[in-house]
Structure 1
């Protein structure tokens, strides 16, 4: 679990995060949504320890990041998996090499132990025959699955995903959403996802946080977002006619 207490972040005279408090629960897919410039990326970078908050606290399993020693922070970062927007795979490495990279860098496992773990996570993301292929030889959806495999190879407690469906067709995006949710539940990971994809919100939004101008404007579940009368949320989520119709059908079914 990650707890956020009155988080603030400024760059010079510009305050980007303005006192955000929330909780990201273990074993659930926690989504951060909002327009460009709302503070989503800065928020995630603070959660990852890449930016130092101006004020407030972030607690991991009840332990405040600001009070951790350098060694404890280093250990915490090794418990974090990250899926980048563009997958961020090494072009010169095979699929197998990309997934093995964190193990090679941060553990003292034998080659056989690392190979066993790599084989396991590639099987888990349904890439059993891609070990020797290079990123350029596989599809965007497969690249994203490799990125997920690399993110979970170290058995992380926390999984962060930045726009995991970026550049994917709707069908593949849904497969990636389902895979992330399955892995989150299966390994009881605290998963935090930055997304613009409203399909993701409706499919896997177990906890949704909506940011607007650096403020937590709303939070709730994918069911609660259908019922909210928060105008900022409805204007953002239901900007397309399709989602307006989906919401109307949901509300009519509840009456």
Structure 2
């Protein structure tokens, strides 16, 4: 579990995060959503320890991030998997070498142990025959699956995904969403996803944190978001006629 209490972050005189309090639970997919400029990326980077913050606290399973020594922070980082927006694969490495990279960085496993683990996670994301391909030879969807394999190769407790469906067609995006949710449940990972994709919200949003102007404007699930009367949320989520129709159908079915 990750616990956030009254988190505040500024750049100069501009306050970006204005006292956010929430929790992200083990074994659940949690989504951070909101318009551009809402503070989503800054929030994610604070959670990851990339940005320092002026107020509040972030705790990983009771360990307050700001109070940890550098060695303790390194131990936390070793328990984190990250899926970047553009996959961020190393162009000069094969897919297997990309996936093995965190093992080389954070473990002292033998080469055969690392190779066995790479085999396992590539099989898990249905890329069992892709070891020797270069990233340039892989489609966008394959690259995302490689990024997920790399993120989970070190058996993380925490998984962060920054816009994992960016640049993907809707069908592939659903495959990636389902894969993330399956892995989260299967390995009981605390998963936090920064997303603007409303399909992801509807498909896998077990916990949704909606940010607006640096504040937590609403939180709930993909079920309760259909029932909320919070105008800030409904204006954002149901800006399209499709979601208005979906909401109407949902409310009629649950009367």
TM-score scaled to structure 1, two decimals? 0.99
Q: Does 1:213 align with 2:209?
A: no
Give the corresponding residue for 1:14: 14
- Which stretches in structure 1 are left out of the alignment for 5+ residues? none
Q: Which residue of 2 aligns with 1:149?
A: 149
Question: Could you list the runs of 4 or more consecutive aligned residues of structure 1 that deviate by over 3 angstroms after TM superposition?
Answer: none
Secondary structure in structure 1 of the residue aligned to 2:159: strand
Q: Distance in 1 between matches of 2:246 and 2:106?
A: 46
Give the drift of 1:74: 0.8
Tell me the CA shift for residue 213 of structure 1. 0.1
Shift of residue 104, structure 1, vs aligned partner? 1.4
Deviation at 1:106, TM superposition (A): 1.9
Separation (CA, whole Å) in 2 of partners of 1:113 and 1:205: 35
Match of 2:166, SS?
Answer: coil
Structure 2 match to 1:110: 110
**Which residue number in structure 1 is paired with residue 129 of structure 2?**
129
Partners of 1:133 and 1:66 lie apart in 2 by: 41
Displacement of 1:67 in angstroms is 1.0
1:45 match: secondary structure: helix
Shift of 1:108: 1.1
- Alignment TM-score, normalising by the size of structure 2: 0.99
Structure 2: any 5+ residue segments left out of the alignment?
Answer: none
2:78 maps to 78
Alignment RMSD (CA, Å): 0.5
Output one character per residue of 1:170-200: Cα deviation in whole Å (capped at 9) or x when no partner.
0000000000000000000000000000000
Deviations 1:108-149 (A, max 9, x none): 111000000000000000101100001111110000000000
For the residue of structure 2 that corresponds to 1:130, the secondary structure is coil
State how far apart, in whole Å, the 2-side matches of 1:106 and 1:251 are: 49
2: CA distance, partners of 1:67 / 1:39: 24
Count of matched residue pairs:
255
CA offset digits 1:50-97 (Å, max 9, x no partner): 001110000110111111111100110111000000000011111001
